[in-house]
Homo-oligomer: A and B are copies of this chain.
């Protein structure tokens, strides 16, 4: 089922997946992936990268995150494939420093269930990004507020 197509082996596909599996829980952009390929000595075009990432996203092996229309998309390896999910892992994007951070939180699992039962909305934790302000920046902000 993982491939109506895609049963072909490919140097690029293998390398990308192999590298992804070495950096679980890390989010990377196409540029960073491209840089990795360059450092490996394997030549690759951006076109191929986008197509591979689309394929991996469809297969559920990789999650795609949109953070801003201007900045590039982020991709992250899903270690357990499309088998068991880990709904307690969420992404938070800091609006001040721009950091994308991981958050383990069972509370969100409850929200997910609530959304499904009461609002008939099936939340996709692999794609959802919570926007806000991170710990560090909250402190900075408080400090600045005093100065002004």
Q: Does A123 contact B (CB under 8 A)?
A: yes
On whether the beta carbons of B120 and A130 are closer than 8 Å, the reply is: no
Whether B103 lies near A107 (C-beta < 8 A) is: no
Interface residue ranges of A84-141 to B (CB < 8 Å): 92, 95, 103, 105, 107-108, 110-111, 114-115, 118-124, 127-135, 138
Cα A103 to Cα B121 in complex, Å, equals: 10
CB distance from A30 to the nearest CB of B (A): 11
Residues of A within 8 A of B (CB-CB), count: 34
Using A69-B68, A124-B95, A127-B95 as known contacts, say yes or no to A119 and B133 having CB atoms under 8 A apart: no
Q: How far is the CA of A107 from the CA of B121 in the complex (A)?
A: 14
Interface contact B130-A105, CB-CB below 8 Å: no
Per the bound structure, the CA–CA distance linking A67 and B67 in Å amounts to 8
- What is the distance, in angstroms, from A13's C-beta to the closest C-beta of chain B? 23
Partner of A129, one of B73, B95, B105, B128: B128
Alpha-carbon separation in the docked complex, A121 to B24 (Å): 23
B132 near A115 (CB under 8 angstroms)?
yes
A4-26: contact bitstring with B at CB < 8 Å (1 yes, 0 no)?
00000000000000000000000
Instruction: Using CB atoms and an 8 Å cutoff, list the residues of chain A in contact with chain B.
Output: 66-69, 71-73, 92, 95, 103, 105, 107-108, 110-111, 114-115, 118-124, 127-135, 138
